[in-house]
């Protein structure tokens, strides 16, 4: 894998740069309830030296009924300043699953106009397996100024996705498991219908990853999209259960140089809730 501080860096790259004064490392671990893991407790016990904990559920739009929707820019600014993350920093984000929720926070920084941000390839499991240092001390935080410029083109709401589904001018790509996509397995969130957005294609997020939680090379990523019959000459909207694993596909599209892709923030948590929106199964 080639290191790119704007998308994905290796554990070796991070180990080499860990003491850089302008590096900021974020632990963005987040788990579904059925995973039985406590991200905050795990962070308190052990994390990459200097890492700050990024709470996906708290640094979100709490006015929304939907889970962890992107926060308003003002809230993002205040949380990042308090965490000592700001302008001029190279940010590296990881999670405790290898590659699960880190890409969501990477996308969030991109949404806010920050581009010197990368996901740690293989995450904390790979870092630990290779014997790199860990600590249990919280970092010393100093306020840091941060400017943001929200990039509206990187996010979609339900109206835009419904229009895209109707017109067929975008590829809507769903990162959920094939069984959930086909409507054969119940959704983890109660009260949601089963199935998928009409006309959407299924690229399970794991198909762009290797067994060790690292991202496949560009040929492997392209093959995963090709296997699902995704036309990459079209703009792509990524979606999933609640906008977390959709960001893995967004990152994968960035890695292969795809130029026009966005993320449906409400994802199935929103689409599956409204009876007037059509659902396909099978």
Tell me what pLDDT residue 1 has. Answer: 63
The H helix count followed by the E strand count for the chain is: 10, 10
The pair of structure tokens assigned to 193 is: 């219908």
Residue 16 reports pLDDT greater than 70: yes
Task: Please give the CATH number for the structural domain made up of 8-150.
Answer: 3.40.250.10
pLDDT tens digit sequence for 220-232 = 999 999 999 999 9
pLDDT tens digit sequence for 249-278 = 999 999 999 999 999 999 999 999 999 999
Stated pTM of the model: 0.98
pLDDT tens digit sequence for 114-147 = 999 999 999 999 999 999 999 999 999 999 999 9
Please list, in sequence order, all residues whose beta carbon lies within 8 angstroms of the beta carbon of residue 242, skipping any fewer than 6 positions away: 66, 67, 68, 189, 267, 268, 269
Q: Identify whether 278 is a catalytic site residue.
A: no
pLDDT tens digit sequence for 24-67 = 999 999 998 888 999 999 999 999 999 999 999 999 999 999 99
Q: Output the CA torsion 242→106→246→2 (10° steps).
A: -160
Q: Looking at domain 153-271, what is its CATH homologous superfamily?
A: Rhodanese-like domain (3.40.250.10)
User: Which part of the chain has CATH 3.40.250.10?
Assistant: 8-150, 153-271
Q: Looking up tokens 């039985």, which residue turns up?
A: 36
- Edge-first strand order for the sheet with 261-264 is 155-156, 261-264, 236-239, 171-174, 201-202
Please, are residues 106 and 8 in contact by the beta-carbon 8 Å criterion?
Answer: no
The pair of structure tokens assigned to 6 is: 């704007």
Tell me what pLDDT residue 279 has. Answer: 97
Q: How confident is the model at residue 111 (pLDDT cuts 50, 70, 90)?
A: very high
Task: Determine which one of 240, 244, 246, 248 is catalytic.
Answer: 240
Q: What is the largest CA-CA distance in the chain?
A: 53
> Helix, strand, or coil here: 58?
coil
């Amino acid at each position: 894998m080639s290191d790119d501080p704007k998308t994905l860096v290796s554990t070796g790259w991070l180990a080499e740069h860990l003491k850089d004064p302008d590096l900021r490392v974020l632990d963005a671990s987040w788990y579904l309830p059925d995973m039985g893991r406590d991200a905050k407790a795990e962070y308190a016990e052990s994390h990459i030296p200097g890492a700050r904990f990024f709470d996906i559920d708290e640094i979100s739009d709490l006015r929304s009924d939907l889970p962890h929707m992107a926060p308003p820019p003002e809230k993002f600014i205040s949380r990042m300043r308090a965490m000592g993350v700001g302008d001029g920093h190279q940010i590296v984000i990881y999670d405790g699953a290898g590659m699960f929720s880190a890409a969501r926070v990477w996308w969030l920084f991109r949404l806010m106009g920050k581009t010197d941000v990368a996901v740690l390839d293989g995450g904390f499991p790979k870092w630990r397996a290779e014997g790199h240092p860990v600590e249990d001390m919280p970092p010393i935080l100093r306020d840091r100024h941060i400017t943001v410029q929200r990039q509206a083109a990187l996010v979609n709401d339900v109206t835009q996705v419904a229009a895209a589904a109707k017109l067929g001018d975008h590829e809507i790509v769903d990162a959920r498991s094939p069984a959930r996509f086909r409507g054969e397995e119940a959704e983890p969130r109660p009260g949601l219908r089963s199935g998928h957005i009409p006309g959407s294609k299924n690229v399970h997020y794991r198909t762009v990853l290797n067994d060790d939680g690292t991202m496949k090379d560009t040929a492997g990523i392209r093959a995963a999209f090709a296997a699902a019959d995704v036309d990459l000459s079209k703009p792509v909207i990524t979606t999933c259960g609640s906008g977390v694993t959709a960001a893995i596909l967004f990152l994968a599209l960035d890695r292969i140089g795809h130029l026009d892709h966005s993320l449906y923030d409400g994802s199935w948590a929103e689409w599956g809730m409204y009876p007037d929106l059509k659902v396909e199964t099978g």
